[in-house]
Amino acid sequence: MTETYTVDKITPEEFSGRWSSEELSEANAWIISILSQPDNKFAPTYSKTQLLAMLDSHPHAARIFQDVLLLEKPQTGTESPIEIFADVPPDAAFAEIQQAYVGADGKYRQPNTKFMPRHTYSDLLSLQANCNQYIVEQISIRNWPERPGIIIDSGYRSPSYQAITLLRAIVEYGLGDALKRCSVPGSSQHSDYRHPAVDFMIIGDQFGKLLLNPQTGYRDNVASFEQSLEFEALLKFGPDCGYWLPYHPNPDNPLSTISHAGIIYEPWHWQYLGNPEEAHRRMVENQVYESIAARKQALAKVA
């Protein structure tokens, strides 16, 4: 199914003028309650038509959803041209990913079902297997408690489901920060069926706690992931399995929270290219390894 997201775009200013924070929170809470129902397990693969049908009994939330779907990201003049993804393949084109693990706190967890295009699935399994073997070996060497290994936090998201993800971010962070943290619908790499992105779970340190970011003085997700065994393993094996790190630190300003792509630095966000040679080439040509090393050195100086 193909849908278009390029007509009658809404600026952030127009959006803010239409909806109050209370209205956005109410719509978000209602949508979350609907998505939690078992019948909507496939929601990350839903098209706009399917999601509007899901919201049929709450027209107010449906209108907000449609406005978020049309939100336009402010341009800073530094971004690369944005590729728009609109195709939403049928459910049969996706592999379901069921996961369960025991956290550092000893509690059993079973995240919601994730979805990835079937043509990416074998490489993703190889990446998980290679990373998990490395993590087990390093746990033994470092005498750390057991870790659950590589956990997928987010896989494929249709352009329309991305609108729901963005709405959640708007409610949590406010519109301005949300647009720095979350791509507008149609522009997210998670919606690229051929080359989808995967977000891996942030486990934290060896005890499952978030790590301190010496730059800010707070414990946060970025510091926790970039210092983790999971990140070490992904850097080591990701390109060999056809994945690369697109939102890496800016080589010219490694301490910036904004990546070279104009989006917040996300060490957990890896895009599938399907070709190890191409993945290695992008890692080298975009100075990914150098920017990560430079960031590590810069953080050590401010610690």
**Predicted pLDDT at 261:** 76
Task: Copy the structure tokens of residue 197.
Answer: 């992105």
DSSP assignments along 88-132, one per residue: ---GGGEEEE---EE-TTS-EE-PPPEEEEHHHHHHHHHHHHHHH
| Distance from chain centroid for Cα 245 | 12
Tokens describing residue 78: 């530094």
In this prediction, residue 246 carries a pLDDT of 95
For residues 242 and 126, the answer to whether their CB atoms sit within 8 Å is no
Residue with the two structure tokens 């033994």: 140
Q: Which residue, among 19, 267, 232, 239, has the nearest Cα to 142 in the 3D structure?
A: 232
Domain boundaries, the chain: 12-85+158-181, 91-157+202-302
Beta bridge partners of 220: 211
pLDDT tens over the chain, length 303 residues:
555 444 578 999 999 999 999 999 999 999 999 988 888 889 999 999 999 998 999 999 999 999 999 998 776 554 555 667 877 888 889 999 999 988 767 788 888 899 999 999 999 999 999 999 999 999 999 998 888 889 999 999 999 999 999 999 999 999 999 998 888 998 899 999 999 999 998 776 555 566 666 666 666 788 888 888 999 999 999 999 999 999 999 888 888 888 877 788 999 999 999 999 999 999 999 999 999 999 888 888 876
The reported pLDDT for the residue numbered 257 is 84
- The CA–CA distances, whole Å, from 240 to 123, 129, 235, 248, 291 equal 9, 12, 10, 18, 20
Token duo for residue 199: 């977000």
Phi first, then psi: give them for residue 225, nearest 5 degrees. Answer: -80, -40
| Beta strand 218-220 pairing with 243-244 | unpaired
Is the Cβ–Cβ distance between 51 and 40 less than 8 Å? no
* Residue type, position 86, single letter: A
- The pLDDT value recorded for residue 76 is 55
Cβ-contact 236, 85 below 8 angstroms: no
**pLDDT at residue number 78:** 47
Return the pLDDT at 83. Answer: 66
Q: What is the pLDDT of residue 290?
A: 94
Nearest-CA neighbor of 126 among 249, 279, 246, 265? Answer: 279
Number of residues in the chain: 303
pLDDT recorded at residue 5: 47
- CA separation for the pair 217, 258 (Å, rounded): 18
Q: Where are the beta strands (DSSP E) in the chain?
A: 94-97, 101-102, 108-109, 114-117, 152-154, 197-200, 211-213, 218-220, 243-244, 269-272
pLDDT confidence of residue 81: 53
Tokens of 229: 């065994």
Query: Which tokens sit at 217?
Result: 């003085």
CA-nearest of 195, 194, 189 to 82 is 189
Write down the pTM of the prediction.
Answer: 0.89
